[in-house]
Structure 1
Amino acid sequence: MEFSIKNDNPEKLLSDCVIIGVYESQKLSNAALALDNVSGGYLSNILKRGDMDGKADTTLMLHNVPGVASERMLLVGLGKESEFSEKQYCKAIRASVKALSNGGASKAATFLAELPVKQLSAKRKVALMAETTLDAAYRFDAIKRKKDESKKEEAKKGIATLYINVTLASEVKEAKAGLADGLALASGVSFAKDLGNLPPNVCTPTYLAEQAQTLGKKHDFKVKILEREELKKLGMGSFLAVSQGSEEPPKFIIMQHLKGKKDQKPVVLVGKGITFDTGGISLKPGAEMDEMKYDMCGAASVLGTFKTISEMDLALNVIGIIPTCENMPDGRATRPGDVLTSMSGLTIEVLNTDAEGRLILCDALTYAERFEPSAVVDVATLTGACVIALGHHATGLFSNNDDLANELLKAGEASLDRAWHMPMWDDYQPLLDSNFADIANIGGRAAGSITAACFLSRFAKKYDWAHLDIAGTAWKSGKEKGGTGRPVPLLTEFLVNRANSSKK
């Protein structure tokens, strides 16, 4: 999709469709008022007939409106004017994209970015316009066979070019900067979605490593891949134990985006990369096991974030670490009762092989120490317990530093990719006691997401650390099944804020 910024009158802007907003109780937005005037009250008459009342998520398509250059006009319901917020703004954008997704309007001009939204600048509104439009228009059909010409034509429908209009000529420069930011974020989110949506026989650990290398070459950042023998020398017994039941070789991916000052301590992002999770010997139930291809969404989000910050040319030092492998059952697979020796030297009693994410992350967290980080954030589809606790709306956030946790919470609120701060008190640590090793890999049914975080915290004592449990937010099930690209927006906002703070 192509985007451009305009500063024009709605009646003069030539396109296949002009998009304008209508508040609840049929109150016209400024752009709608202008079009109503040039059309001799055409819009007012339509609304008086009761075909639209302006409720949120509603749309009405009009054709050949008098005095308007565009062939079509899409009215988008905005809800109550007094309640019109950033969230409602994004809903209106989504509704407009959906309404045009199967029609003949390929070139559209939207005046929704002119709407006043509390505390939002023109730059932010345009950035959200790009992000939300591309998110709503996203389709994953890379591996679908196009059976006939009608399918190809259907795929071509929808918006191909979007003109985003701003109110003042003085806002054009600011809007263009917002568009660049929005496109960069949308690019990273889309990349993360694509990786998650690929089947596990395609998106293997080797494939993830290749994607990281390709990304590094394109955006000029360093990428290093550690293989099994190197991991053995490093003493990553916990990570390697998870991988030993699979014929797919494990990969340990290290990416370095070094655009900050030379003496600036880096932020380290760690992404769980289990490209398929059967549960191992502690085998999962068969129902919905296909969705365990999404167990690498932590890795996907780190790769997506690197794509975004590279396109932004973000002035910050960021390290990405991705331990990636499969968790499979065979004669060599780790058994319940086995005791592993992690890179840190701590021994781990494996009570459940399906609690494997923490076993690969703990070695990655130990490896992160060598970068002397300012902060480490790990991202993982770690526990079903987090889905029970928070559902599919909020990511679970755990941290050993309240200031870091607050940074991430604020970034989540600002990016509409919210997280919720969960407790990780010392009271929970004894649940991980083992009779035969330094620590057990599970703490029982109670507080499962918390004890998982407590496990990771044992390996993150030498730096400020946060853990994002994205088991409930990384993908959707059912009719809309697919990756969400979360928490790329949260991570990007967090890193942009860090970069801005370093300039002061």
Structure 2
Amino acid sequence: MDKLTRYSLETIWKTEVPVESIEAHAVICLVSEAEWITGHFPESWKQAITSVKERGLFNGSENQMFTIPVKQGNSAATLVLVGTGEHPMSAEELRNLAAKAAKASMQVSADQVVFAMPSSLVSYSATQDVATVAHALTEGFILGTYRRKNYKQNQKAYIGPGKVIFHQEKITIPNFQKEWEKGMSDGKAYAEGTIYARDITNLPGNMLVPEDLARAAEDLANKHGLEYSIMDEKKLEKKGMGGLFSVGKGSIHPPRMIVIKYQGKESWDGEIVGLVGKGITFDTGGISLKPRVGMEEMISDMGGAATVLGVLEALCITRPKRNVLVVIPTAENMPSGGAFKPGDVITTLSGRTVEILNTDAEGRVVLADGMTYAKELGATRLIDVATLTGAVVSALGDVATGAVSNDETFLNSFISASRRTGEKVWPLPAYPEFQEMLRSDVADLRNSTGRNAASSTAGLFIGTFADGMPWIHLDIAGTAFLTKERGVNPKGATGVMVRTIVEWILSDERVV
């Protein structure tokens, strides 16, 4: 799918040569407050550094940044001084710092960038782990280079750095290079999976209908040699997927059910992680029409589908020995003479009936069929990802993803992974009283319970179709699409939860 074509940033490690001898357009130099006072900088930078010191323009304080021209190799370059402060930096701080530095290098249209690190960086970090530091800096830099594609007639030729060279001259830690390259490789995989999710979420609604999303999934599967299947509207109806079929029947672009299998073990049995992503390519609200203000952001209502596809991209780079099943119910929720409507009673793949009270609560309806189908295909643990409720935005803003689960141990392990990636996850209550609110007088469930506890009840609606299987619901309605950039996340699609799901799968692999 050429709409998703993107350049690839090369990352390499280099040592045993003076940093000033490496040809580059920009050099990023991490400097603590102490190192700024006592550090030894290359002779070719001396005049520029001295001038900055004398004028008091930089002192190495945390997140401080200053750029100056220097000689680099045989030509001129921009030196980006980045302050690390005087306290040990966490992985999240390093990640955000690298993203900030990446943006500075793009401001000078740098194609090749050198990331010069002080010899004390690892021991000065909070983790004191080489691979973790390498992972954070690589991931942060790549995520910081991201720019949303635009469709202007006159495009700029420069799209971002083509190569970043991480450099450190003095190495005293055993196996440093091996650990650094492992962390750098994982950081790149996490970032590339996230960027894949961002790119596909940012596509305009006229460029991404259910058939297009299915084609993108097919391209991804073929790229990595994965088994996949796609069901069209006729097969959906025959199969009895009344939830997905009903939501999608109002659009001229019919629904699809997408399945991709990542097989990291020799056989397709035992533990199988099922990832179910909401794929509503555009959500008008259907007959329960949304207000016009802000509706353009509903191109992101397939953010859950984008996340699970981004996870696949990252897994195919890291290649863990786990079996992962991705299921994406995708539809366009439109009002028409053929659309489903309030008061309808539909039958899902599970056999449960659902009373439709609000056609704008369509995501949980398509996910019901996705959950059941994932179980049918062998999933033993389930994670669903969805831009599900406005209520979660009221509760957590655009800062944290809301989570509902039926398994506290499972959820705790996932939240631990989120702390390592810096993606905030907050558990929402799943009280029995909330489950009672889903009861309908005319069907097994109703798809809307009103405003009270709306994020919890929406999650529990989906959880009903887990039928007791360990399950986590992630409501990314607030975190999938931002109105302004923050940290490693740009304005627009964020690819949220790709990194955390991958981190959980990899860390769970180490435990298993």
Is it true that 1:470 corresponds to 2:476 in the alignment?
yes
Contact 2:406-2:468 at 8 Å conserved across structures: no
Which runs of 5 or more structure 1 residues have no equivalent in the other structure?
Answer: none
Equivalent of 1:280 in 283, 286, 295: 286
Pairing 1:50-199 to 2, within 5 Å after superposition: 50-64=56-70, 71-78=77-84, 80-82=85-87, 84-112=89-117, 115=121, 116-141=124-149, 144-147=151-154, 151-153=155-157, 155-156=158-159, 158-166=160-168, 167-168=170-171, 170-199=175-204
Equivalent of 1:22 in 19, 31, 56: 31
Pairing 1:47-446 to 2, within 5 Å after superposition: 47-64=53-70, 71-78=77-84, 80-82=85-87, 84-112=89-117, 115=121, 116-141=124-149, 144-147=151-154, 151-153=155-157, 155-156=158-159, 158-166=160-168, 167-168=170-171, 170-262=175-267, 263-446=269-452
How far residue 380 of structure 1 moved from its aligned partner, in angstroms, is 0.3
Secondary structure of residue in 1 paired with 2:68: strand
How far residue 306 of structure 1 moved from its aligned partner, in angstroms, is 0.5
Structure-1 separation of matches of 2:234 and 2:72: 73
Distance 1:350 1:2, change over 3 A: same
Q: Residue 19 of structure 2 aligns to which amino acid in structure 1?
A: P
Contact 2:186-2:318 at 8 Å conserved across structures: yes
Structure-1 separation of matches of 2:73 and 2:501: 46
How far residue 165 of structure 1 moved from its aligned partner, in angstroms, is 1.6
Contact 1:113-1:126 at 8 Å conserved across structures: no
Structure-2 separation of matches of 1:39 and 1:299: 48
Structure-1 separation of matches of 2:41 and 2:484: 41
Structure-2 separation of matches of 1:187 and 1:56: 27
| Residues 173-182 or 476-485, more deviating | 476-485
Q: CA RMSD in A?
A: 2.3
| Residues 3-12 or 177-186, more deviating | 3-12
Structure-2 separation of matches of 1:85 and 1:403: 26
Structure-2 separation of matches of 1:309 and 1:71: 36
Q: Render the CA deviation track for 1:245-300: whole Å, top value 9, x for unaligned.
A: 11111100011111124243210000000000000000000001010010000000
Contact 2:45-2:70 at 8 Å conserved across structures: no
Structure-2 separation of matches of 1:464 and 1:385: 24
Distance 1:69 1:177, change over 3 A: farther
Equivalent of 1:452 in 447, 455, 458: 458
Distance 1:417 1:374, change over 3 A: same
Q: Residue 355 of structure 1 aligns to which amino acid in structure 2?
A: A
Secondary structure of residue in 2 paired with 1:432: coil
Contact 1:267-1:374 at 8 Å conserved across structures: yes
How far residue 355 of structure 1 moved from its aligned partner, in angstroms, is 0.3
Q: Residue 490 of structure 1 aligns to which amino acid in structure 2?
A: T
Q: Render the CA deviation track for 1:26-70: whole Å, top value 9, x for unaligned.
A: 43269x812078866863552242212333333212223699997
Q: Residue 407 of structure 2 aligns to which amino acid in structure 1?
A: N
Structure-1 separation of matches of 2:145 and 2:45: 31
Contact 2:61-2:86 at 8 Å conserved across structures: no
Q: Render the CA deviation track for 1:403-440: whole Å, top value 9, x for unaligned.
A: 11011101111111121111101021122222221111
Q: Residue 358 of structure 2 aligns to which amino acid in structure 1?
A: N
Q: Residue 14 of structure 2 corresponds to which residue in structure 1?
A: 6
Paired residues in the alignment total: 492
Distance 1:104 1:433, change over 3 A: closer
Secondary structure of residue in 2 paired with 1:403: helix
How far residue 193 of structure 1 moved from its aligned partner, in angstroms, is 0.6
Q: Residue 439 of structure 1 aligns to which amino acid in structure 2?
A: L
Distance 1:400 1:53, change over 3 A: same
Q: Residue 500 of structure 2 corresponds to which residue in structure 1?
A: 490
Structure-2 separation of matches of 1:81 and 1:346: 59
| Residues 277-286 or 179-188, more deviating | 179-188
Q: Render the CA deviation track for 1:156-204: whole Å, top value 9, x for unaligned.
A: 5x53321102452841222222222122222211111111000111111
How far residue 494 of structure 1 moved from its aligned partner, in angstroms, is 1.0
Distance 1:90 1:47, change over 3 A: farther
| Residues 243-252 or 11-20, more deviating | 11-20
Structure-1 separation of matches of 2:83 and 2:74: 20
Contact 1:42-1:65 at 8 Å conserved across structures: no
Q: Render the CA deviation track for 1:59-117: whole Å, top value 9, x for unaligned.
A: 21222369999744221122x32252222212221221121212154322112485231
Q: Residue 168 of structure 1 aligns to which amino acid in structure 2?
A: I
Structure-1 separation of matches of 2:305 and 2:118: 33
Secondary structure of residue in 1 paired with 2:500: helix
Secondary structure of residue in 2 paired with 1:81: coil
Distance 1:303 1:113, change over 3 A: farther
Contact 1:20-1:76 at 8 Å conserved across structures: yes
TM-score (norm 1): 0.92
Which runs of 5 or more structure 2 residues have no equivalent in the other structure?
Answer: 1-8
Structure-2 separation of matches of 1:86 and 1:478: 23
Q: Render the CA deviation track for 1:374-412: whole Å, top value 9, x for unaligned.
A: 310000000010111111111111110011101110111
Contact 2:21-2:72 at 8 Å conserved across structures: no
Structure-1 separation of matches of 2:306 and 2:161: 27
Q: Residue 3 of structure 2 corresponds to which residue in structure 1?
A: none
Distance 1:7 1:453, change over 3 A: same
Structure-2 separation of matches of 1:35 and 1:405: 47
